[in-house]
Homo-oligomer: A and B are copies of this chain.
Amino acid sequence: MSRKKILVVSAHPEPRSLTAALAAFAVEELRASGHEVRVSDLYAMKWKATVDADDFPDLAGDRPLDVLHAQERATLAGALTADVVAEQEKVRWADALILQFPLWWFSVPAILKGWVDRVFTNGFAYGPAVPPPYTEGALGGRRALLSVTFGARESAFSDRGAHGPLADVLFPLQHGLFWFTGMAALEPFAVPGTVDVPAERFEAAKRDYRRRLAGLFTDDPVPFRPLSTDYDHDMRLLPGLERPGADGLGLHVR
């Protein structure tokens, strides 16, 4: 297998957590397969979670902070803060991105949301300043995997589960973040029922995760529709493309 570059981003305050263990396992597995791996352990890095005026030291003091434009201007002017520049460099370097996190309130922990908010700037991850072909995404050519743990039973996130299908709950990341920036999103890898994880379940989770890591560059990604061919200029799905019976978020999968 060809040597690839993978960025593992993990987000848990406890170094002895399941999240930390799974992140370490991923790093070990991927390195053992000959890949290069870099890690962003957000809590260990004391990652600054909130976008604020400190992110834009070049912003004139009396100018209102318009985040979209401030991010674009700072990105193009090379005036982003060093912590953000370092993470952008890692994302650019990577052939694949793995986000390892506990599902807190049906999304990423705030520190990881803050990594997305601050790193995926206009001009870096999307927007008119990104070199063409912009329509297929600024970060095209990369793969992306969400690796999540949650306390609920698997059934609660199943097709008929009260919390919604996991793929739909994660749509803001799978499609919003990954698809929108051009990355190929894989089906999420999930470890459910993590309120208590006995050793045999941890071993089973590692076996499952090993298979997913082995397929990181060969598994079929979620077949989200391409923006350039399947949508009109108002970003609406063109008529007649939907699978029979599909509606809601399912429309955006081929």
Cβ–Cβ < 8 Å partners of A236 in chain B: 155-156, 158, 160-162
Binary per-residue interface labels of chain A (3-31) against chain B in the complex, 1 for a CB within 8 Å, 0 otherwise:
00000000001101100000000000000
Residue of chain B at shortest CB distance from A120: B105
Chain B, Cβ-Cβ closest to A170: B172
A240 to chain B, nearest CB (A): 11
Q: CB-nearest residue of chain B relative to A47?
A: B50
| CB contact list, A232-248 vs B, under 8 A | 234-237, 245-248
Complex CA gap A180/B247 in Å reads 24
A86 proximity list for chain B (CB < 8 A)? none
Footprint of B on A, CB under 8 Å? Answer: 13-14, 16-17, 43, 49-53, 64-68, 102, 104-111, 113-114, 116-117, 120, 151-153, 155-156, 158-165, 168-169, 171-173, 175-177, 180, 195, 225, 227, 231, 234-237, 245-252
